[in-house]
């Protein structure tokens, strides 16, 4: 059986790492019916620390195709990917097209395959923010509606699809990022050089990330978020693992970053996990990091008005504050009220074997 996997953005490399590892495991156990995986990297993310670093660190096979699309407006970027992926599919004629999440690379891969009648398997199907202003929401809704296999991480995701009339091909498999967290966290035996170099007290710093268009593309929102970081940094160091998009906007807007707010380059995954585990609180607008905060039991303050990962909020592990500095400060001052109930993680996000389950579904076991 042949699978073409389309990835392009940072969170997709992490998710694909788990599934690729399961494919290798399956191949070892099934020498006769092998799965051939061809990885296509669209080139949506291209900086070393947004892309190659993850392939190396997480043992992801080198991409068979590098499309080199790069950055651009939504239509331009997605259109160029669509054209290039179509050529790969013509060449490879796979049995399945595998896509992850909700980026422009996801939609381009899914659309190219669906038009060629190649079945699409969507990992992280069914998530909804119900905010159509987010490009991710458009990408995930459209991808789900052209997919044959809808691989849902949560019960909520299955229910969201049911409400849109999608009932067939829907499977709740668990969360592949949870697979990753369990696998790689066990490899963290001693502190990484980054944590040592940062010279922060364990359990006494804020870890932050900001990259969503709704925050970065608004001067007021980005300024409010960094105002809150500045105020907090008078009490506790704030480490911001800065997405290149946000670095660009901070510069363009001329936003002054307080001295106690430490801007880091994007960090490799294992170091990110370590920073997440040892933070007092995580402040983020990332989808993946909200979940990871819950997985590792660190309170999360989400810099958005809504989330696709509603379970984290329902469980008391996460609080939505938007980009309002006063709400962020209120949540920060009451961190003890944000209580991740770790027991719930396995109930909500699976048993760490979502990727194996996905492979079983692809081969039709
Ligand atoms: C994309 C996804 C978003 C996901 C995020 C993960 C879409 C619409 N958005 O957002 O859902 O949460 O990835 O990180 O697909 N840039 C660089 N170097 C890089 C990559 C990007 O400098 O390696 C800069 C460029 O200025 C670029 C900007 O970041 O214009 C935005 O990149 P883009 O891939 O369009 O969107 P993200 O914000 O990364
Ligand atoms: N991540 C990382 N280094 C960073 C920031 C994020 O390794 O500097 C990892 C993070 O641990 C998670 C994933 O990237 O596994 C989340 O990706 P991102 O926040 O870019 O996108 P989203 O999940 O919002 O789509």
Confidence of residue 208 (pLDDT cuts 50, 70, 90): very high
* pLDDT of 192 higher than 80: no
Residue 286's closest CA among 347, 214, 219, 228?
214
Atom of ligand 2 nearest to the CA of 14: 15
* pLDDT of 236 higher than 80: yes
What's residue 196's pLDDT? 81
* pLDDT of 273 higher than 80: yes
Q: Which residues contact 126 (CB under 8 A, 6 or more apart)?
A: 144, 150, 152, 153, 154, 156, 157, 158, 159, 160, 161, 166, 170
241 within ligand 2 shell (Cβ under 6 A): yes
Is residue 45 flagged as an active site residue?
A: no
**156: which 2 tokens?**
């909520």
* pLDDT of 133 higher than 90: yes
- Could you give the angle at the alpha carbon of 127 between the alpha carbons of 346 and 223, nearest 5°? 100
Identify the residue whose C-alpha is closest to ligand 2 atom 19.
Answer: 286
What's residue 187's pLDDT? 84
Identify the residue whose C-alpha is closest to ligand 2 atom 2.
Answer: 269
* pLDDT of 155 higher than 90: yes
Between CA 172 and CA 162 the distance in angstroms is: 12
Report which bound ligand comes closest to the CA of 214. 1
> In 10 A of CB 62, how many CB atoms?
10
Confidence of residue 333 (pLDDT cuts 50, 70, 90): very high
**271: which 2 tokens?**
């170091």
Q: Residue range 244-251: average pLDDT? A: 98
* Catalytic member of 41, 122, 211, 243: 211
Between CA 2 and CA 27 the distance in angstroms is: 12
180 within ligand 2 shell (Cβ under 6 A): no
Q: Residue range 19-48: average pLDDT? A: 97
Could you read off the pLDDT of 156-165 as tens digits, one per residue?
Answer: 999 999 999 9
* pLDDT of 235 higher than 90: yes
User: Domains in the chain, start-ordered, CATH in brackets?
Assistant: 2-175+350-364 (3.40.50.2000), 193-348 (3.40.50.2000)
């Amino acid at each position: 059986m042949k699978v073409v996997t389309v990835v392009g953005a940072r969170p997709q490399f992490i998710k694909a790492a788990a599934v690729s590892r399961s494919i290798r495991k399956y191949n070892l156990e099934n020498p006769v019916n092998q799965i051939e995986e061809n990885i296509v990297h669209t080139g949506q993310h291209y900086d070393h620390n947004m892309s190659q670093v993850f392939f190396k660190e997480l043992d992801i096979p080198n991409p068979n195709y590098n499309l080199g699309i790069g950055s651009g407006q939504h239509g331009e970027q997605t259109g160029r990917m669509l054209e290039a992926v179509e050529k790969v599919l013509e060449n490879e004629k796979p049995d399945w097209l595998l896509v992850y999440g909700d980026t422009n690379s996801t939609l381009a891969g899914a659309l190219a395959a669906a038009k060629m009648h190649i079945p699409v398997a969507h990992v992280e199907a069914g998530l909804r923010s119900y905010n159509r202003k987010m490009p991710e929401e458009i990408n995930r809704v459209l991808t789900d509606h052209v997919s044959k296999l809808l691989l849902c991480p949560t019960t909520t995701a299955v229910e969201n699809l049911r409400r849109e009339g999608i009932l067939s091909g829907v499977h709740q498999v668990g969360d592949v990022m949870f697979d990753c967290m369990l696998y790689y966290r066990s490899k963290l035996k001693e502190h990484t050089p980054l944590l040592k170099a940062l010279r922060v007290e364990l359990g006494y710093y804020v870890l932050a990330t900001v990259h969503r268009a709704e925050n970065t593309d608004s001067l007021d929102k980005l300024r409010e978020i960094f105002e809150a970081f500045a105020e907090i940094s008078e009490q506790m160091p704030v480490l911001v693992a800065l997405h290149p998009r946000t670095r660009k906007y901070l510069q363009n807007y001329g936003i002054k970053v307080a001295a106690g707010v430490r801007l880091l380059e994007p960090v490799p995954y294992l170091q990110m996990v370590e920073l997440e585990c040892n933070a007092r609180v995580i402040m983020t607008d990332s989808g993946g990091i909200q979940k990871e905060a819950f997985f590792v039991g660190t309170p999360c303050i989400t810099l958005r008005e809504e989330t696709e990962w509603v379970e984290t909020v329902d469980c008391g592990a996460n609080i939505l504050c938007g980009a309002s500095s006063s709400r962020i400060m209120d949540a920060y001052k009451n961190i003890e009220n944000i209580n991740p109930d770790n027991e719930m993680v396995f109930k909500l996000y699976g048993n760490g074997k979502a990727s194996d389950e996905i492979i079983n579904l692809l081969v039709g076991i």
